[in-house]
A and B are shown apart, each in its own frame.
Chain A
Amino acid sequence: MKKLVIAAIALGGTVAAGAAVADTSAKKIALSNNYAGNSWRQAMLESWQKVTSKAVSDGVVAAADAFTTAENQATEQAAQIQNLILQGYDAIVLNAASPTALNGAVKEACDAGITVVSFDGVVKEPCAWRIAVDFKQMGKDEVTYVAQKMPNGGNLLEIRGLAGVFVDDEISAGIHEGVAENAQFKIVGSVHGDWAQDVAQKAVAGILPSLPEIAAVVTQGGDGYGAAQAFKAAGRPTPLIIMGNRQDELAWWQEQKDANGYETMSVSIAPGVSTLAFWVAQAILDGKEVPKDLVVPFLRIDQDTLAESLKTTPVGGVANVEYSQADAQKVIEGAQ
């Protein structure tokens, strides 16, 4: 996977900060991962492998091994973390199966002098660092974008994710917050698309006949292409549909853009956030002052970066970006 243009995300910058490289050259970092069964996690592990193997050969760190538990279970991951303590790693980068059930093991790692950096699936144990995703902001950003495009407002259709999951609640809360601030918009319908194109298509097709004209569709990712198909099948004009960085969504967008200059934006979390966590762990080992709570930037694709993103995204995959040491530095500074 080729590296995406960094300008695609909020933080730019290409020059590596003058970090003290030699200080961590003897340190060993491990990735403790609880699940590898979908394209996002596969891309996450691939990014880790790519960035860390270069860091190891450059002598930035001595080792950066990835460990995935055989089953997605908290007790198994707790045992895995305890094993990593024994194996003498200096830092553990963690995508946790549970925000709380690993607390005991994480505390034990901290007590053994190990730096624990959790990302994506973060842990509540206070001694660990957290690189969290501000899903609420993501939902709000969608409405802000739509408001810029359509200052006069209109009707919105909201496609939600999997009911009862924390991420779904957060993104939806952000969308509703955004709508509250932009009174010219009104959510006239809301369906659950379960982050899957086929489910979203069926759900949207089901609700469409009862809806007035839709100006824009706000989504959660993995549902934009299905929504577009549903509008097409119903013979209704295609509204502005926010995309979620999946390859099929980007391909459809490109097609529409070429045909009729269709404009939208696409936003989601890059699986390469594992590499951001790696650099943050490296910075902590380097003795840098790092706040315990960091926020990971989204990967946003706009009209002008679409072609490039589509080129680098594998069919059936998710647009990705790998973070550099300088990016991590920016995120850390941004939180201070």
Chain B
Amino acid sequence: MTAGLLTPRVLRSLLPALSLAVLLVAIFYLQPRAMSYFGINLLLNLAVPIALATLAQMFILTVNDLDLSIGSFVSFVACIAATWLSEMPLLGILALLGCILVYALLGALIYLRDLPSIVVTLGMSFVWLGLSVLLLPTPGGTAPGWLQALMKLKTPLVPFCVIAAIVIGLVVHLGLMRSAHGAVLRGAGGNPKAVARAGWSLLRIKVTMFALAGCFGVLAGLALVGLTTSADANIALRYTLLSIAGVILGGGEFVGGRVSPIGAVIGAMTLTLAGSFLSFLRLSPDWQIGAQGAILILVLALRMLINRAEARR
């Protein structure tokens, strides 16, 4: 590896952070009031559940699969948290553990039967939605007090949402990018045959990654319901596409193995801020979806340019 190769590479890994910084500066310029403890908290607290859902999606993308059910899964978790978890904590915890188990089994099913994950998870999205409606036919319920207290925690100096995002990103980064086991997990997405030949069980890897995704999906649901204090069967349906966009925006790729946990967290925050930015710009809602797409395309185009520069060297 020559020193010359390093520049585009560093640029590429810095791109998500740079886009976040640019967006933040633009928001502070438009709305100076946002440049405060209170303001940053309001801007970013809803990014915490999105970041967790994005990481869940990232685990699935790591093994070259795609999860189209994460939005309805997070909604279902929110419904459990707003009903069983506060009324019958034991049942609630068992249900949440059961959810993670279902995710692990899905991983096994997809691997053993060699099914396309898109089809399986698309089907599951309807199952989760149906279960949510059964559990909570009309919007309501109350999040457990400790959950609300946790999400409303007033940490000194830096808002809780920022600390949470950093901690989540770092923990996953250390586990997936810096540990030997993490390298194997990522390798199973990039080159499954090589990993299998080296003696690793691909089944176990798939199950691990899906279980991790389920785990982070549960955390996302809990964080969300802690913020909203009450649930709705449709509360997080948007997270499916947001989480995929977040992973890609954060430097991940669809090919498996090429992911970045810190990038994914930053991607989720960038997407959240993009919405606020457009709203501060007073852009008509008819244009907002398009403008959000334009921001995505802009960042991805920049990445393509950097990739091309990398290839040319």
Contacts and interface: CB of A to CB of B under 8 A. Distances in A.
A65 interface: yes
- B230, B236, B276, B282 — which one has the most chain A CB atoms within 10 A of its CB? B230
Interface in A66-102: 67-71, 73-76, 78-80, 82-83, 85-88, 98-102
Interface residues of A, number: 33
A149 to B, nearest CB: 36
B208 interface: no
B230 A100 contact: yes
Interface in A38-71: 65, 67-71
A78 B43 CA distance: 11
A103 interface: yes
A104 interface: yes
Interface residues of B, number: 36
Contacts of B275: 70, 76, 79-80, 83
Interface in B3-46: 31, 33-34, 38-39, 42-43, 45-46
A243 B279 CA distance: 39
A101 B45 contact: no
Nearest to A85: B42
B191 interface: no
Nearest to B151: A104
A87 B280 contact: yes
* Best-buried of A68, A82, A101, A124 by chain B (most CB within 10 Å): A101
Contact of B138 (A102, A108, A166): A166
Contacts of B272: 79
A8 interface: no
A101 B231 contact: yes
Interface in A146-196: 166
B106 interface: no
A67 B288 CA distance: 11
A98 B39 contact: no
Given A74-B235, A86-B43, A98-B235, A79 B141 contact: no
B270 to A, nearest CB: 14
B232 A101 contact: yes
Contact of B279 (A71, A75, A80): A80
15 contacts: A75-B238, A76-B275, A80-B275, A80-B279, A86-B31, A86-B39, A88-B33, A98-B234, A99-B139, A100-B141, A100-B229, A100-B232, A101-B228, A101-B232, A103-B230
